[in-house]
Amino acid sequence: MEQKRVVVVGNGMIGYKFCEKLVSKSDAFLITVFGEEPRRAYDRVHLSEYFNGKTADDLSLSTENWYAERNITLYLDDAVKAIDRDQQTVRSANGHVLSYDFLVIATGSSAFVPDIPGIDKEGVFVYRTIDDLVLIEEYAKRARTGAVMGGGLLGLEAAKALMDLNLKETHVVEFAPRLMPRQIDNRGSEMLQSKLHSIGLKIHLNMGTSSIEGDNCIQYIQFNDGTVLETDMLVISAGIRPRDELAKLCGIETGSRGGILVNEFMQTNDPSVFAIGECALFDHNIYGLIAPGYEMAEVVVSRLCGIEKTFKGFDMSTKLKLIGVDVASFGDPFTTEPDSRTIVFEDTHKGIYKRINISTDGKYLLGGILIGDAEGYNMLLQTVNNKILLPPNPEDMIIGARGNNPQEQQAGVAGLPDEALICSCEGITKGGICSAVADHGCETVDAIKKYTKAGTGCGGCVPMIKDLMVHAMKMKGKYLRNVVCEHFELSRQELYDLIKIHQLKSYDEVLDGLGKGDGCEVCKPLVASLLASIWNDMILRKGNAAAQDSNDRFLANIQKGGSYSVVPRIPGGEITPDKLIVIGEVAKEYNLYTKITGGQRIDMFGAHLSDLPFIWEKLIAAGFESGHAYGKGLRTVKSCVGSTWCRFGLHDSVSFAIRIEERYRGLRAPHKFKSGVSGCIRECAEAQSKDFGIIATERGWNLYVCGNGGGKPQHGLLLATDIDSDTCIRYIDRFLMFYIHTADPLTRTATWLNKMEGGIDYLRNVILNDSLQLAAVWEAEMEVFVKSYECEWKAAVEDPSVRKRFNHFVNSPMEKDSSVKFEEMRGQKKAADWSV
Amino acid sequence: MEMTKQVAWFAACRVEDAVENGGVCVKYHDQQVALFYFTRRDEWYATQNECPHKKQMALSRGLLGAVEDQPKIACPFHKKTFSLKTGECLNGDECAITTYPVRVENGMVYIGFNL
Ligand code: SRM
Ligand SMILES: Cc1cc2nc3c(=O)[nH]c(=O)nc-3n(C[C@H](O)[C@H](O)[C@H](O)COP(=O)(O)OP(=O)(O)OC[C@H]3O[C@@H](n4cnc5c(N)ncnc54)[C@H](O)[C@@H]3O)c2cc1C
Ligand code: SF4
Ligand code: FES
């Protein structure tokens, strides 16, 4: 069969999607693609992640050979310059002339740059392509302050990106009287403003710009009202301009305000020329979102393959991807009386604003706005799109049924019809997702993404896909698993629950009751750690000793050469001169190397196994206790000196650090965890690099969570602001218990959060709003734990049967291991190097 | 167990001195031997105490376990695992460890060394 020639102009998101859809439906076409950018189509929606370390390759929508493998010719860095409609040919910048049977224009849009004097100065950017971001990143290195012109969806995203580039100050300048004027109302905008303000963005509304001033580079923005704003750089995000210049040149009809006019088949006035994506003007609308663009691609593919399908317009519901602030708008957000009734919920304390518009008969949801908490977005959108009858009290949809249970949300997905569109980007329905799970064995979100493509566009539907997956698996009598090893076909979380329910107290009981075989180095320490987390028994009792990792088994870290280290707890880093003397004396007596650690305490290295109980006996007598430097549990709570001495200190950070360290000492967890308390924002205690960190504010404490040092450093994220000490402790109780219950083995809090669907917003909802209704249980569990704490080294030295395990030779108890070798260095000893 | 050669049985310790489901280190002249009491399987094993990976006297302080039905010991330093039956390294290229026969009589544990 003779192949028809299809030429695609533009290798952006929609141009790519068109190719993908066409080759999957038919091989009757010979496809050629021209792209003006130098790289293969990439995920523009997640463009900002380029600043978070994603590379152009990570963002790419296809693999290198994707086009070649499908016999598609791809010309990159080669824009189409002219279309000859009579000859049915296109001509590119590099001189390629190609004839076509069908031409698909997918040229997208460019940032609209208003014609303001000085707009072409250095330091003024747009935010559209990877190349733009490369320029911005480079320039930002020299800049102190930045501004964004435009407070819409993209403008706010660009502003957040500038903040993340560590500019000292970031401003948003908006012409309209509110932010995101197309999506949210005035009250919503006010709430959003105060939220953004609290993360450090400065917002200026009602600002018309008259010029950009500066010598060569921008120095300040001059406003119509005579005021100015000093800034080192400016990103323009004042709207988009459809790229219709090619169409205009060859006489294809365009709209008066731009955009290539198309009918419901995405056909232009020339029936063999189509336009899709952001360059297309359908029914007076330019659709600046990915989902409608994908739908347009589908319509053209159908048309080419002789399938009846039309474009019917598209829902413009959106959720902002800004970190730390939830914003969503769905259906018709603005409709008012007399066409509809409005229900509003406002909580200025927590910064939440929710509005829903319902039909006058109270039966249907028409649209709404969510600020500060967009948890309900997916369900609300489904309720609008599927015309689901509202419950008798529609307000429950935004404030939750009073006396409700956590299953509510589940009942939500279960109640959706099979045709409900879940992923609007890829057009995947609930039925499609459930069938992927039930009939095609997709039992992870990744598997579903791979099989159905749902969730691969803007990603907004991922939480719902997860709910549906759980729902579909439950229907099949299955549940999620991530098993430990060949001896336990259970996840850590399942093991946790079962050990508790069956009251299992030793490794052998657990293996007999829940596992099979004889155990291994993976499940033993894992179970031992769970037993410690759950029962808080001294870890070397009840036959659990031999299941511990070596460091836990000997309550000390084993060193190169086989000696051990001794780390007494020094809460908050505060220590008396008398105690310092004791450490010095003990170290001298047992010939130990001493060093101040990175965790504000003192490590004594090079102890023989058989000396450990004697060393600890002396330390305990002087009032020290185990520092748990060996365990997967609380390490140190670093403190700065705080208000007792420091001229900037706002509160007594040392006292609070000690209180925290003493509360959580000995608590076993999936991995070690650390904390820090700083007395003011100068952050001398580096609290933001800790699993949980606390910084004093004028009004209380800010609590950050899930920071990490180590090989992949990551700053903690702000969980709660201006809270008092008791609230702070309550939140930490919940946070730690949630972590202990649910994290995979050997997963630090940062990694745990990175894997959590919904991220920090979800976590905040669980901890602050008690969305799982487990806070009381967790707090009670923590209280039991705190009360039953005992120093395990004290217990060990006092129990002869435990104590005898610290001999190196079973048949020569007092003899030291002569293979342990030390060398001398700067007047102290060091472990001899590995001999191999 | 290989019984054709002449074996000298060395009295290592009493049963109750051994660690259940774990190891202890036995001094035999100037050698160190790891003795394991795999209580779950009611089996005893002895091997050299030195881990061949970094030459650390450490195997007695490792974790006992099994892969399928093969009993093994994991070194506490870098978790290399060795078969307790054959001494072979189960992670690939590392060289094997020496194993010794074990006998229990009247509450005493004996390790057999070739003469
Ligand atoms: C002693 C100390 C270094 C020093 O001389 O300062 C140290 C020493 C060890 N660190 Fe550390 N870390 C020490 C502070 C840190 C810090 C700094 C801090 O806490 O402020 C970090 C980065 C912060 C963090 O953890 O987020 C740190 C990140 C690590 C990591 C990487 C963790 C990660 O998530 O990537 C490991 C490996 C692990 O735990 O799996 C590790 C593991 C170890 C071990 C336990 C390795 C081992 O298994 O033998 C080292 C043996 C200590 C011993 O024998 O007592 N150490 N380690 C510090 C002890 C602090 C204390 O008082 O308890
Ligand atoms: C920062 C940012 C965040 C966004 N976030 C979201 C979001 O959260 N949700 C959402 O739904 N949408 C979002 N969008 C919008 C979304 O990215 C666009 O709707 C989508 O990329 C449009 O695809 P397109 O193919 O029509 O245009 P583009 O992706 O712009 O692709 C058009 C391509 O055609 C090329 N081209 C133009 N003229 C020619 C020519 N003559 N010859 C050859 N090639 C040419 C262009 O260089 C470009 O590469 C975001 C956009 C940006 C910039
Ligand atoms: S963090 Fe603030 S209060 Fe604490 S020592 Fe530094 S400057 Fe002082
Ligand atoms: S020294 Fe034993 S595994 Fe490395």
- For A314, phi and psi rounded to 5 degrees? -150, 150
Q: How far is the CA of A5 from the centre of ligand 4 (A)?
A: 63
Residue A466, sorted as left (phi over 0), alpha (psi -120 to 50) or beta, turns out to be alpha
State the closest ligand 3 atom to the C-alpha of A646, by its place in the atom list counted from 1: 8
Which residues of chain A neighbour B25 with C-beta distances below 8 Å? 808-810, 817
Closest Cα in chain B, distance from residue A527 (Å): 13
Ligand with the closest atom to the CA of A521: 4
Q: Looking at domain B14-107, does it have CATH number 2.60.40.2230?
A: no
Which residues of chain B neighbour A812 with C-beta distances below 8 Å? 27
Residues A418-435 pLDDT 10s? 888 888 888 899 999 999
Q: Does B19 touch chain A (CB under 8 A)?
A: yes
Q: What span, in angstroms and rounded, lies between the C-alpha atoms of A550 and A554?
A: 6
Which residues of chain B neighbour A507 with C-beta distances below 8 Å? 21
Given an 8 Å threshold on Cβ–Cβ distance, is A546 in contact with B18?
no
Given an 8 Å threshold on Cβ–Cβ distance, is B26 in contact with A811?
yes
A222-246 mean pLDDT: 95
Q: Looking at the predicted structure, is the pLDDT value of residue A322 above 80?
A: no
Q: Looking at the predicted structure, is the pLDDT value of residue A405 above 50?
A: no
Give the residue, by CA position, lying nearest to ligand 1 atom 17.
Answer: A598
Residue reference for tokens 């249970």: A405
Q: Looking at the predicted structure, is the pLDDT value of residue A403 above 50?
A: no
pLDDT of residue A57: 86
A543-550 mean pLDDT: 82
Distances (CA, A) of A138 to A45, A60, A141: 21, 22, 6
Residues of chain A with pLDDT > 90, as a percent, come to 65
Helix (H, G, I), strand (E, B) or coil at A534: helix
Residues A140-154 pLDDT 10s? 999 999 999 999 989
Given an 8 Å threshold on Cβ–Cβ distance, is A520 in contact with B27?
no
B80 CB less than 6 Å from ligand 4?
A: yes
Q: Looking at the predicted structure, is the pLDDT value of residue A602 above 60?
A: yes
pLDDT of residue A404: 44
Q: Looking at the predicted structure, is the pLDDT value of residue A398 above 90?
A: no
Q: How far is the CA of A768 from the centre of ligand 4 (A)?
A: 45
Q: Does B91 touch chain A (CB under 8 A)?
A: no
Give B108's pLDDT tier (boundaries 50, 70, 90): very high
A244 CB less than 6 Å from ligand 2?
A: no
Give A410's pLDDT tier (boundaries 50, 70, 90): very low
pLDDT of residue A835: 73
Residues A492-521 pLDDT 10s? 888 988 998 888 989 999 999 999 999 999
Q: Looking at the predicted structure, is the pLDDT value of residue A730 above 50?
A: yes
Give A63's pLDDT tier (boundaries 50, 70, 90): confident
Q: Which residue has the higher pLDDT, A533 or A368?
A: A368
| Interface predicted TM-score of the whole assembly (ipTM), two decimals | 0.69
User: Count of H helices and E strands in chain A?
Assistant: 27, 38
Average pLDDT, chain A: 91
Residue A368: CB atoms within 10 A of its CB come to: 31
Given an 8 Å threshold on Cβ–Cβ distance, is B74 in contact with A520?
yes
Asked whether A634 and A567 are in contact (CB, 8 A), the reply is: no
Q: Which of A541, A746, A809, A833 to mutate to test the interface with B (most CBs of B within 10 A)?
A: A809
Asked whether A188 and A353 are in contact (CB, 8 A), the reply is: yes
A789-795 mean pLDDT: 92
Q: How far is the CA of A641 from the centre of ligand 3 (A)?
A: 6
Distances (CA, A) of A770 to A9, A146, A404, A701, A735: 51, 37, 12, 20, 11
Given an 8 Å threshold on Cβ–Cβ distance, is B76 in contact with A550?
yes
A691 CB less than 6 Å from ligand 2?
A: no
Residues A579-600 pLDDT 10s? 999 999 999 999 999 999 999 9
**Range with lowest mean pLDDT among A90-94, A714-718, B88-92:** B88-92
Contacts of A796 (CB under 8 A, 6+ apart): A538, A540, A555, A613, A616, A802, A803
Q: Looking at the predicted structure, is the pLDDT value of residue A331 above 50?
A: yes
A756-763 mean pLDDT: 87
Closest-CA residue of chain A to B15: A810
Q: Does B70 touch chain A (CB under 8 A)?
A: no
pLDDT of residue B94: 63
Given an 8 Å threshold on Cβ–Cβ distance, is A521 in contact with B22?
no
Give the residue, by CA position, lying nearest to ligand 1 atom 19.
Answer: A599
Residue A378: CB atoms within 10 A of its CB come to: 23
Give A323's pLDDT tier (boundaries 50, 70, 90): low
Q: How far is the CA of A373 from the centre of ligand 4 (A)?
A: 51
Which of A521, A809, A819 has its CB closest to that of B26?
A809
A247 CB less than 6 Å from ligand 2?
A: no
Give A53's pLDDT tier (boundaries 50, 70, 90): confident
The per-residue b/e assignment along A24-33, b for 16 or more CB within 10 angstroms, e otherwise, is: eeeeebbbbb
Q: Looking at the predicted structure, is the pLDDT value of residue A700 above 90?
A: yes
- For A86, phi and psi rounded to 5 degrees? -70, -45
Ligand with the closest atom to the CA of A49: 2
Residue A542, sorted as left (phi over 0), alpha (psi -120 to 50) or beta, turns out to be left
Residues A640-656 pLDDT 10s? 999 999 999 999 999 99
Which of B12, B19, B58 has its CB closest to that of A546?
B19
Q: How far is the CA of A291 from the centre of ligand 2 (A)?
A: 12
Residue A504's nearest CA partner among A537, A480, A553 is A537
Asked whether A552 and A514 are in contact (CB, 8 A), the reply is: no
Q: How far is the CA of A74 from the centre of ligand 2 (A)?
A: 18
Give how far the C-alpha of residue A738 lies from the chain's centroid of Cα atoms, to the nearest Å. 17
Residue A320's nearest CA partner among A188, A225, A433, A217 is A188
Q: Which residue has the higher pLDDT, B20 or A470?
A: B20
Residues in chain A: 836
- What is the reported pTM? 0.53
Residue reference for tokens 């001509």: A91
- Amino acid (1-letter code) at residue A587: A
Q: Looking at the predicted structure, is the pLDDT value of residue B2 above 70?
A: no
Given an 8 Å threshold on Cβ–Cβ distance, is A521 in contact with B79?
yes
**Range with lowest mean pLDDT among A666-680, A804-818, B85-99:** B85-99
Q: Assign 3-state DSSP to chain B and report helix, strand, coil percentages, each to 5.
A: 10, 55, 40
Which residues of chain B neighbour A817 with C-beta distances below 8 Å? 25, 32, 57
CB pairs under 8 A between A and B: 102
Residue A707's nearest CA partner among A655, A667, A760 is A760
Beta bridge partners of A365: A358
Give A482's pLDDT tier (boundaries 50, 70, 90): low
Report which listed range, A136-145, A367-376, A550-559, B88-97, is most confident. Answer: A136-145
Q: How far is the CA of A287 from the centre of ligand 2 (A)?
A: 11
Residues A248-285 pLDDT 10s? 999 999 999 899 999 999 999 999 999 999 999 999 99
Closest Cα in chain A, distance from residue B11 (Å): 9
pLDDT of residue A582: 97
